[in-house]
């Protein structure tokens, strides 16, 4: 089905391109004794070729266990398409693909294929109006502005226009903390919401709940094979969600608390053992900040490199790192008067491990003597 991923679903030529996969399968079976390596919905017509003599036994087991065809209807053991059109497709699928494969293999077949494709391309496909292609001259817009607006060659493209290009490979799920915790395919679901949003559909209430689940860690964007700008896409969805219904901060805090407080999330995804760090009270210097903790999200905006995992909160021995006190409920803030400069949070920060310590940094707070020395240095430099 790779051919289906690479075609343009916005045009009618999608239908011909999609047939390439079963046509290649038919060719492999006809000339090389091949068999389908997997049977999904559209390959179900080749069920008999896949299982050979065992096909009857598998079909009988399906009939006995699920006589009403409730589970995986139309998958594996044969088409279950409804209506007249469904009956036509079920009957003609295999011979039709074989005929098309034969025609394309004849002299002039390539010309015939190109002619058919050009004729179908003028018709709308199933994804018409739901996305745009991307070119080297495009940059994704963030908050309505192109990142490189100073270049005259760059045009703005909203992130949702790229959502259509998701190939459902699942790589984003493999690095998503929410998927690790709940098996909810959050990045994929939000991407498809973005595709629907580009087509003019409103963000449903369930979409707002999914946005609350998202930590904005950016892991999905880092591994996306289709190059979808997930973080700008989620921000656009969040703006649409807030316009449709009031932002429920209380619910958002409850969701984040449940995720960050999960032992499985801390143990399996972050590899953090909260119980292994000694809790203690900071040295008594009331009202004095002896150390400063710099977090990337405070320096360069939300989700710059901080993945909002909350690991620094779990391991802080003095409770200096705090949740839910920033403008965005995902942000982590620090009470510098309680920081003892131990560096435990710096050591466990997953983002630090990836970028060499640029996300979370701790340093001694400047004292009065430090500022006096700085003034003296500046005076010497100007004299």
Summarised one tens digit per residue, pLDDT across range 121-140 is 889 888 888 888 765 445 55
Annotated domain spans of the chain: 2-121, 138-247, 274-368
pLDDT confidence of 279, banded at 50, 70, 90? Answer: low
Say if CB 39 and CB 74 are below 8 A apart: no
pTM for the predicted model, two decimal places: 0.68
| pLDDT of amino acid 356 | 82
Cα 316 to Cα 344: distance, rounded to the nearest angstrom: 7
The mean of the pLDDT values for the chain is 80
**138-247 and 274-368: identical CATH topology:** no
Q: Looking at domain 138-247, does it have CATH number 1.10.1060?
A: yes
Burial of 230 (0-12, 13-18, 19+ CB in 10 A): buried
- Say if CB 197 and CB 160 are below 8 A apart: yes
What fold is seen in the domain 274-368? Answer: Alpha-Beta Plaits (3.30.70)
Residues present in the chain in total: 383
How many Å apart are CA 346 and CA 369, to the nearest integer?
A: 27
* CB-based contacts of 363, cutoff 8 Å, min separation 6: 291, 292, 294
pLDDT at 93 over 80: yes
Per the CB < 8 A criterion, the answer to whether 35 and 49 are in contact is yes
pLDDT digits (tens, 9 = 90+) for 155-169: 456 788 888 888 888
Gyration radius of the chain's alpha carbons: 28
Q: Over the stretch 339-358, which tens digit does the pLDDT of each residue have?
A: 888 888 988 888 888 888 88
State residue 83's pLDDT score. 83
Residue-wise burial string across 305-325, b where 16 or more C-beta atoms lie within 10 A, e elsewhere: bbbbbbbbbbbbbbebbbbbe
- The answer, yes or no, to whether residue 207 has pLDDT greater than 90, is yes
């Amino acid at each position: 089905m790779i051919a289906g991923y690479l075609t343009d679903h916005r045009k009618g030529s999608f239908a011909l391109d999609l047939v390439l996969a079963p046509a290649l399968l038919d060719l492999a079976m006809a000339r090389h004794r091949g068999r389908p390596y997997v049977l999904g919905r559209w390959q179900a017509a080749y069920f008999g070729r896949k299982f050979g003599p065992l096909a009857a036994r598998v079909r009988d087991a399906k009939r006995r266990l699920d006589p009403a065809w409730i589970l995986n209807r139309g998958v594996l053991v044969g088409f279950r398409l409804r209506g007249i059109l469904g009956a036509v497709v079920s009957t003609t699928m295999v011979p039709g693909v074989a005929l098309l494969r034969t025609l394309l293999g004849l002299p002039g077949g390539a010309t015939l294929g190109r002619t058919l494709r050009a004729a179908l391309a003028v018709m709308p496909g199933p994804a018409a109006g739901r996305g745009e292609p991307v070119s080297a001259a495009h940059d994704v817009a963030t908050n309505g502005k192109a990142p490189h607006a100073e270049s005259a060659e760059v045009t703005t493209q909203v992130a949702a226009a790229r959502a259509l290009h998701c190939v459902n490979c699942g790589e984003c799920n493999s690095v998503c903390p929410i998927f690790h915790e709940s098996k909810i395919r959050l990045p994929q679901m939000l991407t498809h919401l973005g595709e629907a949003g580009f087509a003019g559909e409103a963000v449903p209430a369930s979409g707002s709940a999914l946005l609350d689940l998202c930590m904005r860690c950016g892991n999905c964007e880092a591994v996306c094979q289709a190059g979808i700008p997930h973080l700008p896409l989620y921000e656009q969805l969040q703006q649409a969600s807030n316009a449709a219904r009031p932002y429920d901060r209380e619910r958002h805090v409850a969701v984040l608390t449940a995720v960050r407080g999960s032992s499985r999330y801390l143990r399996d995804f972050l590899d953090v053992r909260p119980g292994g760090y000694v809790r203690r009270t900071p040295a008594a210097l009331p009202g004095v900040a002896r150390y400063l903790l710099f977090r990337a999200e405070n320096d360069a905006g939300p989700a710059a490199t901080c993945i909002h995992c909350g690991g620094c909160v779990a391991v802080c021995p003095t409770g200096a790192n705090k949740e839910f006190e920033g403008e965005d409920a995902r942000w982590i803030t620090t009470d510098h008067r309680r920081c003892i400069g131990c560096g435990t949070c710096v050591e466990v920060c997953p983002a630090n491990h990836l970028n060499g310590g640029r996300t979370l940094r701790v340093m001694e707070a400047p004292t009065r003597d430090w500022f006096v020395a700085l003034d003296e240095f500046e005076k010497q430099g100007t004299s």
